Amino acid sequence: MYCGVVTLKCLAIFDLDGTLVNSIYDLADAVNTALAERGYPVHSVDEYRFFVGNGAKKLCERALPEARRSEEETVSLQGRFSEIYRKNCLVKTLPYDGIPELIDRLSDAGIKCAVASNKPDEFSKEIVEALFGKGRFDLVVGKREGVPTKPAPQIVEHILGELGVPKEDSIFIGDSYVDVETAHNAGLPCIGCVWGFRGENELKAAGCDHIAYKPGDIFDILTAN
């Protein structure tokens, strides 16, 4: 058992993109716009499902033609992507069906909810507040300067410390191998969400502890005796 409905010191840490919200269209549009401005080929939305997951810099590096993936060109593309995305990060991005209701059910059961994202911290906070309302999550943490991105465990360890919940009473929830590795690097079990960007096969291959086929499955896993 991870968390019972009477266990108040319990924490569910969620990935953002591909887990709580479907942001792939806005991400793809922003990178494609930046690529097209430079005369580079653009990519399909489905290709971007495998570009995301390790932060904005890695996203831009993967989107560049292989022969142009220098540090200088990657940083330049990332800068332009950030400018575009800053203005358009909420054009098409929406919560997955059933996610807002899940967060409310968890909160009502005394389970704290947090967000750990490789998306820059300001974007993470802006998107979560815009789509879920202020204060719906106990803590939202994105990529910050000087802190390693997932799958390094520091972002999870920071959240555990800030909320005062031991890892034994916590679980990580995400949609990719990056999230599974993040959870295990931090000493947490992981629930994999098949509705996200990568799918069930990747989650199982990465060693995910549980699979959720719909948001309600997460509540059942957390409150199972």
CA dist 71 and 74 (Å) reads 5
In a domain, 3, yes or no: no
Residue whose tokens read 């679980």: 171
Query: What pLDDT is attached to residue 225?
Result: 56
| List of residues 6+ apart from 22 with CB closer than 8 A | 93, 94, 95, 96
For residue 63, what are the domain limits? 24-88
Q: Which of 57, 88, 119 is at the close of a domain?
A: 88
Instruction: Please give the full DSSP string across 52-76, using - where no structure is assigned.
Output: -SS-HHHHHHHHS-GGG--HHHHHH
CA dist 190 and 179 (Å) reads 8
46 catalytically annotated: no
Residues 127 and 76 placed together within one structural domain of the fold:
no
Query: What pLDDT is attached to residue 207?
Result: 97
Residues 113 and 201 placed together within one structural domain of the fold:
yes
Residues of the chain with pLDDT under 70: 1-9, 225
Domain count, the chain: 2
Q: Which of 88, 103, 130 is at the close of a domain?
A: 88
Which amino acid makes up residue 189? P
H helix intervals, 23-175: 24-37, 45-48, 56-63, 71-88, 99-108, 121-132, 154-163
Residues 105 and 76 placed together within one structural domain of the fold:
no
In a domain, 201, yes or no: yes
Query: What pLDDT is attached to residue 74?
Result: 97
Residues 127 and 180 placed together within one structural domain of the fold:
yes
DSSP, collapsed to helix, strand or coil, labels residue 188 as coil
| List of residues 6+ apart from 192 with CB closer than 8 A | 174, 175, 179, 180, 200, 203, 204, 206, 208, 210, 211, 212
The model's pTM: 0.91
